């Protein structure tokens, strides 16, 4: 059997060194960057496919971060280099950035500057390079980490002052979401950016997507000190291809919206979990194949699980949340039908090896799964998952540890 591959996070010193060296290689003798900023990826503890239903989610910030070395310019030119795209220089003028007008990975970066300008903030051009240890394509929000690192860099170099308090960071979240939705063209919610900018070390962030809440009201810190409880969050990047998922996200969202309309509620958040059976029965005449009922059951029970998870960890009872994680995965697999063979394999192998709880995390159809384990059992659980993948003839997964970590900010 093969040995688990650990995907280590970088120290701030290493991350800063990498992007400073890259900045010198990309821009030569044009001068040093104004500084280095970084932002974390995120992992969602529980609360999947709830955001577009007005529900709750509970993410934390990863120790794995994206680093940006940036220097402001006196014109409106943006020049970008990336360690993940060696030899390429992405360029644009801020005056030309608009929905549908720019493409490529640089749209996520230039989009942040565009969104800040749309909000009335003075934004100039800039030269920047990026490097990251956030696994790409693993459902751990590498795009949000990029946006948020750029956001805090532009905030400081432009003397905007937004990153100085939580209200300002909530405004930066909104700008990053607009960048991703309107410029990069990715129709995501704001959970990822909220976690990257507003989650804090030792805490999860309860993200409440109920319509009508302000950006500031939608995020509440929740103590989640795993180390004090003798626990560790193990993340497994399955490296599974996201096959056959075209339109699946949109289909599920549309199904939930149809169900809400049939039930006469604004969002499925308004369905009382204590009356779930009665609610599902009301869908019967419109639901011959039971799909509406299954989707609604997942959303309503997942929102309830997230609230109960929050209550347990806030009370210092993190070692009791395992059954909620397992129930979440079962619901995502059976009722929402977004799991995958690899995700199920991680959950089954981790639980069999002694994990307190395990579940897929993210949108599904691949990506990552998480397991809550005793600190002294990490290697045992990781080895069991690795052995299960080997026995199934699957591509080897990657493993990372995910203590709740610090938000975006200046690194050097």
Task: Tell how strand 77-82 and strand 231-237 pair up.
Answer: unpaired
Burial class (CB in 10 A: 0-12, 13-18, 19+), 120: exposed
Strand order across the beta sheet in which 203-208 lies:
56-57, 203-208, 219-223
Q: How many CB atoms lie within 10 A of CB 129?
A: 27
Separation between Cα atoms, residue 279 and residue 96, nearest integer Å = 50
Q: Which two tokens stand for residue 263?
A: 């039930």
Cα Rg of the chain, angstroms: 21
CA angle 40, 44, 49 (to 5 degrees): 125
- Residue 358's DSSP bridge partners are 371
- Residue 177's DSSP bridge partners are none
Instruction: Give catalytic residues, as residue numbers.
Output: 192
Q: Which two tokens stand for residue 147?
A: 């946006």
Q: Which two tokens stand for residue 156?
A: 């400081």
Give how far Cα 324 sits from Cα of 251, 261, 304, Å. Answer: 26, 29, 10
């Amino acid at each position: 059997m093969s040995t688990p591959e650990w995907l280590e996070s970088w120290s701030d010193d290493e991350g800063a060194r990498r992007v400073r060296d890259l900045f010198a290689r990309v821009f030569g003798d044009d001068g040093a960057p104004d500084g280095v900023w970084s932002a974390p990826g995120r992992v969602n503890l529980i609360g999947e496919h709830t955001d577009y239903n007005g529900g709750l989610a509970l993410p934390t910030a990863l120790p794995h971060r994206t680093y940006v070395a940036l220097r402001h310019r006196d014109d409106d030119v943006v020049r970008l280099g990336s360690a993940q795209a060696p030899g390429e220089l992405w360029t644009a003028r801020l005056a030309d950035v608009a929905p549908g007008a720019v493409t490529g990975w640089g749209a996520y970066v230039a989009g942040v500057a565009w969104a800040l300008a749309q909000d009335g903030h003075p934004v100039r051009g800039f030269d920047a390079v990026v490097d990251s240890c956030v696994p790409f394509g693993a459902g751990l929000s590498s795009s949000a980490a990029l946006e948020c690192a750029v956001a805090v860099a532009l905030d400081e170099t432009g003397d905007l002052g937004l990153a100085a308090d939580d209200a300002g960071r909530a405004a930066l979240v909104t700008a990053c979401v607009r960048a991703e939705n309107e410029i990069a063209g990715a129709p995501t919610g704001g959970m990822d950016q909220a976690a990257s900018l507003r989650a804090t070390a030792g805490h999860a962030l309860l993200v409440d997507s109920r319509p009508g809440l302000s950006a500031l009201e939608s995020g509440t810190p929740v103590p989640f000190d795993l180390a004090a409880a003798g626990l560790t969050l193990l993340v497994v990047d399955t490296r599974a291809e996201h096959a056959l998922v075209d339109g699946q996200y949109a289909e599920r969202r549309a199904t939930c919206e149809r169900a809400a309309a049939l039930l006469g509620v604004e969002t499925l958040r308004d369905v009382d979990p204590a009356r779930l059976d009665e609610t599902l029965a009301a869908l019967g005449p419109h639901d011959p194949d039971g799909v509406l009922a299954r989707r609604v059951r997942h959303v309503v029970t997942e929102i309830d699980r997230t609230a109960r998870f929050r209550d347990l960890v806030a009370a210092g009872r993190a070692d009791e949340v395992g059954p909620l994680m397992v129930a979440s995965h079962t619901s995502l697999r059976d009722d929402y039908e977004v799991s995958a063979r690899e995700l199920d394999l991680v959950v089954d192998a981790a639980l069999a090896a002694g994990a307190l709880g395990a579940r897929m995390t993210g949108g599904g159809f691949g990506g990552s799964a998480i397991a809550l384990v005793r600190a002294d059992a990490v290697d045992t659980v990781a080895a069991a998952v690795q052995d299960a993948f080997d026995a199934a003839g699957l591509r080897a997964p990657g493993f990372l540890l995910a203590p709740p970590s610090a938000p975006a900010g200046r690194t050097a």
